[in-house]
Amino acid sequence: MTNSVPTLTLNDGHTIPQLGFGVFKVEPTETTRIVTDALEVGYRHIDTAAVYGNEEGVGQALASSGIDRSELFVTTKLWNDKQGTQSALDAFDESLEKLGLDYVDLYLIHWPAPANDKFVESWKTLAEIRKSGRARSIGVSNFLVPHLERLLTETDVVPAVNQIELHPAYQQAEVTAFAREHGIHIEAWGPLGQGKYPLLEEGVVTAAAEAHGKTPAQVIIRWHLQTGNIVFPKSNRRERMAENFDVFDFELSHTEFATISALERGGRVSAHPNEVN
Ligand code: NAD
């Protein structure tokens, strides 16, 4: 099943598996077991963050899996209170150590935290880290257009990705159009609505699921893949991990895709990026 995950080419030439596994809210004590399950199911792309507190568990699962490093894609993120130059370098070292890796595939600024006004400085630091080879690619998360504009005008490095809250009921048209225009791939977090928005019960979703003999979650993941989003749904349950990975044997029709896209309601379920500092 592993080989069936498509890869996308980032603006720095590196490739990323379009479907991965996220570990937000995975308890540190359970992380090794859960990530081991995910790797056994076939996931090769893991999305974590320093603030999730579970990088060590991720690292242990990777190390004991026996999977060649070159087959894995690992993302982690710089937390807000570590933004800056030396603090970001130190935080990156700590993440690498906890993960037990000598490089990560992708390192992200977790939130712009604009009240601190350190995201441009942090971005320059990430560019240095990338130059050193210890992060193959670098990107940002939860950046809105004005934040991205500052990176583009004040530095000469374009983020490879912007990881943002995105699902059919909240598609972030403005930031996704800006990203597309500048060659920045979109990673959709909360792809299933985090259970806070009843996406899986929407009639157009359940109808498409029935038509294809798939589940509503598989339909939503398929919508993301067909949109071009990079996506890493999270579940602690192995059967759901397998369900979320089994999305490459069907395709939403043009009509199904359009009716699901019409679920847009324009409301985020999580915090506004300007308010997380
Ligand atoms: P998600 O939309 O993936 O929702 C996860 C929840 O959906 C699970 O807890 C589970 O209850 C439910 N679920 C999963 N599979 C299901 C299935 N097949 N059927 C029914 N319900 C199912 O939300 P998320 O975990 O917040 O987002 C995914 C990943 O995105 C995270 O794990 C993390 O890696 C990343 N993320 C990043 C940020 C950020 O600020 N950059 C914020 C949140 C999440």
Ligand 1 touching residue 273 (CB < 6 A)? no
Annotated active-site residue in 52, 107, 170, 197: 52
Please give the average per-residue pLDDT across 82-86, as a whole number: 98
Q: For residue 272, what are the contacts with CB-CB under 8 A and spacing of at least 6? A: none
Atom 42 of ligand 1 has which residue's CA nearest to it? Answer: 189
Please give the average per-residue pLDDT across 54-74, as a whole number: 98
Query: Which of 21, 23, 24 is the best mutation target for the ligand 1 pocket, counting ligand atoms within 8 Å of the beta carbon and taking the most?
Result: 24
| pLDDT score for 195 | 80
Point out the ligand 1 atom lying closest to the alpha carbon of residue 77: 41
| pLDDT score for 184 | 98
Tell how far the Cα of 220 is from the centroid of ligand 1, in angstroms. Answer: 12
Point out the ligand 1 atom lying closest to the alpha carbon of residue 110: 41
Please give the average per-residue pLDDT across 96-111, as a whole number: 98
3 has a pLDDT exceeding 70: no
At 223, list the tokens: 């919508």
| pLDDT score for 2 | 44
| pLDDT score for 127 | 98
Residue 170 is a catalytic residue: no
Q: What is the dihedral of CA 239, 240, 243, 245, to 10 degrees?
A: -110
| Whole-structure pTM value | 0.97
List beta partners, residue 224: none
Q: Which CATH architecture has domain 7-197+229-234?
A: Alpha-Beta Barrel (3.20)
